[in-house]
Structure 1
Amino acid sequence: MNTDQAFTLLKSAGVSEEISIQTVRRWLRERKINYEGRGNQKSGYILDDTDQAYHLLKDAGVAASIGIPIVRRWLREGKIQDVGSESSKTEYITNEITSKQLLNNTTEQEKMIRQLKVKIKAQEEHIKGIEELHQNSIKTLVQQREKLNKEIASLQNENSKLQSEAQVLLKENIDLRNQLLKLKEELYKGTKREPEKQDIPPIPQNFHQKLGLSKSASHKEILAGYKKLLKITHPDHGGNARAFHYIKTDFDNYRKSLKG
């Protein structure tokens, strides 16, 4: 602390100008202050701690009841760097600082609590949104499952119908095959011959009667009847070669009779 700072502090403490000058001169002789400022001047602090400030004011003749409030004010104004260790003299100073610190801490804690509440509320809303999304997803999945079950039941019903129809068609096919075999047997019945006879038996000339047609049937109807029998008895279609040969010969004779 230099002389100018010491004089300013004493004036700020309410010490008269004359006593302030005398006190500064004495402090300078006692080397308590410097003529030129150094040390903490650049940092903004004038005094190191409250103990130093209290002793200087006491040395200047300032009563303790007046000095303590002044030291407290200097501390708030930033003229003193730290709180001293002499509790008996700095009790009121430290109490004020502690109260101020507690107040600041309380404010900070309230601010943190408000921020935490905001975060908690945001998280609760987020969780609520996730729960709603989860419920909607479950509802959608249930609806899809019900739809799939209905489709499965419909497909099973259609499958049952198709199986029934297939059984009916199979039965009809068996009946048709039986009828075809019966027809082949009837056609083949008159084709058997004795070993000593010729391969081709005598061919009757009544083509209408042989094909089961009326006497008024046209030539086209007779030809169509022969072609149908040839197709049924053809060996490539499961027919009898002997019956096919018989019908083919009869068919050729009929065509020859048309040309004659």
Structure 2
Amino acid sequence: MNTDQAFELLKSAGVPDELSIQTVRRWMRERKIRFEGKARLSKTEYILEDTDEAFDLLKDAGVAANIGIQLVKRWYNEGKIHRLGNVDQIKEYISTQPKLPPFEDKPSDMTIRELKVKLKAQDEQIKGIQELHQTSLKAMIQQRDKLNKEIASLKHEKSELQLETRNVLKENIDLRKELLRLKEELSKQGKGEDEKVQSQSGPSSNPQDYRRKLGLSKTAGPKEVLAGFKKLLIETHPDHGGSAKAFHYVKTDYDQFKSRIKGN
């Protein structure tokens, strides 16, 4: 048998290519293959001497016994095996295959007891899971109710804050209006006082006008007029709560009156 024939047999036995290459190389080292060749095998030419050789090769290649027996039968029918070998070789080939451990049949009552124990354990496990689920569900419901209460409380506080904000804004607007009104009144009042002081103490060339503005009699002398001016200057001075404009008018009249007296 040459290498081509060996590859063809291993391929027909379903051996993977990589394992086939390793097997053929080993067979060549062990001189189970006589020479290398490339020629194809004809239908009438055999490549194995007998079935014993075929079983040895398949066993060495790791082919299972049930598959090996079918292959040897087919190869023999196809003329690839020259003659039948020893029948004991088949028995030996089959005996080398791994056997499954025998099935041990347990008594039925023991099996039932074991099943009952397993079922009971499963029932307890399911019961524990259900209790855990109920506990978790109850805790989640309580947490949800608590959150809903907090949300309602926050909404109520928000409404109160909004109402309070509106009230504060309204009060602020009212205060602004009142402040503007007071400013206008003070402005009008200050303007009236300035006009009054101006009319009373504006520059004048008539001595009787000074006496009239100071509220003195027509017969009041210069000393009385000067004393009246000094009193009015103190009252209109800004340091004493007076108006600078009114103080200016009074001071002007005072200076003019003094100049008139000195001139006379």
TM-score by length of 2: 0.46
TM-score by length of 1: 0.46
